[in-house]
Amino acid sequence: MHDHLQSYLDFAVETAYLAGRLTLGYFQGDLQPELKADNSPVTVADRKAEELIRDRIAAHYPGHAIVGEEFGTTGSEGASHRWFIDPIDGTKAFARGVPLYAVLLGLEIEGQVRAGAAYYPALDEMLAGATGLGAWWNGRRARVSNVQRLDEAYVSCSDVGGFAAHGRGRAWERLQAAVYHRVGWSDAYGYLLVATGRIEIMLDPSMNAYDCGPFPPIFQEAGGYFGDWQGNPSIYAGEALATTQALLPQVLALIREAEADSA
């Protein structure tokens, strides 16, 4: 199993890197983003990067299914292997010339994400991992922070307005009051910071599966947690929370208290 996972991990890293280098050809250029039905932007770079990733998967693993942000789902619904693609996570940042965007690629095997890579092209940072094979950040081990207390922790999110919009305003207020520092390092970049021990908590009240495909095995191997706001590891919850194992019970308790107050 590990031999196969290593091969998949190597493929994910190489593919995310190649797609990321492609995006740099458009970064800080004269982009003209279009708005999709959900009012989110898309650029030619998003589409070209996803096409590159899909072409590589089709060539190397023709029996695998694909779930991508820009071109939907292809392959058998019952496929044992499914790749999740976000060709540019952080298109809003990308379109404005902000370097905190990423290419995300995760592989689900028999219902569990087992390998994945997140490449941050403008920063040239690669975060990758697979079950039992460790989490790696530019060739060295990725580890979450050793901070043990919420009042010493840094927390980040993608869009502060999203919490109230999704009925999670009270939880966000409680968490803000409990931590040491609140910062706005958004989208996949915030999850990179948690996985590499530079901040302690990242959360989003709204999340698609392709927006977080690689993160479950990365956080597991880095000694942390990635999943929903109830403590269940998942990419399908429609929300996301990443933190350390030490802080997870404290964060979940705050969320439960806030939800009880709001009931």
Task: Band the pLDDT of 186: cuts 50, 70, 90.
Answer: confident
Could you give the angle at which helices 215-222 and 187-195 cross, rounded to 10 degrees? 20
Per the model's pLDDT, the better-predicted residue between 218 and 78 turns out to be 218
Which helix (H) or strand (E) segment holds residue 157: the answer is strand 154-157
Rounded CA-CA distance 110/46 in Å is 28
Of all residues in the chain, what percent carry a pLDDT higher than 70? 99
Task: Band the pLDDT of 2: cuts 50, 70, 90.
Answer: low
* pLDDT on residue 203: 96
* pLDDT on residue 262: 76
CB 102 within 8 A of CB 120: yes
Question: Phi/psi zone of residue 12: left (φ > 0), alpha (ψ -120 to 50 degrees), beta?
Answer: alpha
Return the half-sphere exposure (C-beta side, CA atoms, 13 A cut-off) of residue 74. 17
CA-wise closest residue to 207 among 191, 225, 221, 184: 191
* pLDDT on residue 77: 81
Of all residues in the chain, what percent carry a pLDDT higher than 90? 91
Rounded CA-CA distance 201/32 in Å is 33
Q: Which residues of 130-147 are buried (b: 16+ CB within 10 A; e: fewer)?
A: bbebbbbbeeeebbbbeb
Q: Is residue 177 scored above 70 in pLDDT?
A: yes
Sign of the dihedral defined by the CA atoms of residues 216, 132, 108, 23, in that order = positive
Mean pLDDT for the stretch of residues 39-50: 96
Q: Is residue 107 scored above 90 in pLDDT?
A: yes
Task: Band the pLDDT of 261: cuts 50, 70, 90.
Answer: confident
Mean pLDDT for the stretch of residues 100-113: 98
pLDDT tens digits, 22-42: 999 999 999 999 999 888 999
Mean pLDDT for the stretch of residues 97-119: 98
Q: Is residue 50 scored above 70 in pLDDT?
A: yes
Query: Taking all residues of the chain, what is their mean pLDDT, rounded to a whole number?
Result: 96
Task: Band the pLDDT of 3: cuts 50, 70, 90.
Answer: confident
* pLDDT on residue 29: 95
Mean pLDDT for the stretch of residues 41-49: 97
* pLDDT on residue 1: 59
Rounded CA-CA distance 214/128 in Å is 8
Q: Is residue 198 scored above 80 in pLDDT?
A: yes
* Strand, coil or helix: 183: strand
pLDDT tens digits, 54-97: 999 999 999 999 999 999 999 988 899 999 999 999 999 999 99
